[in-house]
Homo-oligomer: A and B are copies of this chain.
């Protein structure tokens, strides 16, 4: 868990505004991974269009990472309705040719920092129990998430849903200023 500023990957700039161009940006970023089905890509895109139509009231907050003016990753998260301080992490994607450079970790920690700064107590993320998602599950586990639930066969027969949770309050003491 980061507390305060974290060194950013080289040349990465953050942007939390969302424009109509981001419909294409998100579609291309998600599709670049080769990991998600066409239906899943459309769900990711749907969250952008929801946000464009309804603004932050949609509950979908975005953080884009740009390198030299080109989007290389994004995270979509938001407060969960009817909860006090619980957030969902809906999507986190790094462009396929920019993986393993710390971009996803940076986007994750920065979104957690922003959640905590607006009263976030915990963040939840859902993923698949399939072997293909083992690296995804490791990604979260290594960043302070623990498995909170497993719903077998949720996505499809043999494809369960794993819910990970991270406590945003149990952060280490801040470094001296």
List residues of chain A with CB under 8 Å of any chain B CB: 37, 39-40, 43, 81-86, 121-122, 124, 148-151, 153-157, 163, 165
Listed by A's residue number, 28 A-B pairs whose Cβ atoms lie within 8 Å are: A37-B82, A39-B81, A39-B82, A40-B82, A43-B81, A43-B82, A82-B155, A83-B154, A83-B155, A83-B156, A84-B155, A84-B156, A85-B156, A86-B154, A86-B155, A121-B153, A121-B157, A122-B153, A122-B154, A124-B151, A124-B154, A148-B149, A148-B151, A149-B150, A149-B151, A149-B163, A151-B163, A151-B165
A109 CB to nearest chain B CB (Å): 22
Which B residues touch A40, using CB under 8 A? Answer: 82
A40–B121 Cα gap in the complex (Å)?
A: 20
Which B residues touch A121, using CB under 8 A? Answer: 153, 157
9 extra interface residue pairs, beta carbon distance < 8 Å, beyond A124-B154, A149-B163:
A39-B82, A40-B82, A43-B81, A83-B156, A86-B154, A86-B155, A121-B153, A122-B153, A122-B154
| Nearest 8 interchain pairs by C-beta | A149-B149, A84-B156, A83-B155, A43-B81, A148-B151, A40-B82, A86-B154, A39-B82
A153–B167 Cα gap in the complex (Å)?
A: 10
A84 CB to nearest chain B CB (Å): 4
A90 CB to nearest chain B CB (Å): 12
Which B residues touch A85, using CB under 8 A? Answer: 156
Which B residues touch A151, using CB under 8 A? Answer: 124, 148-149, 163, 165
Which B residues touch A157, using CB under 8 A? Answer: 84, 121
A157–B124 Cα gap in the complex (Å)?
A: 15
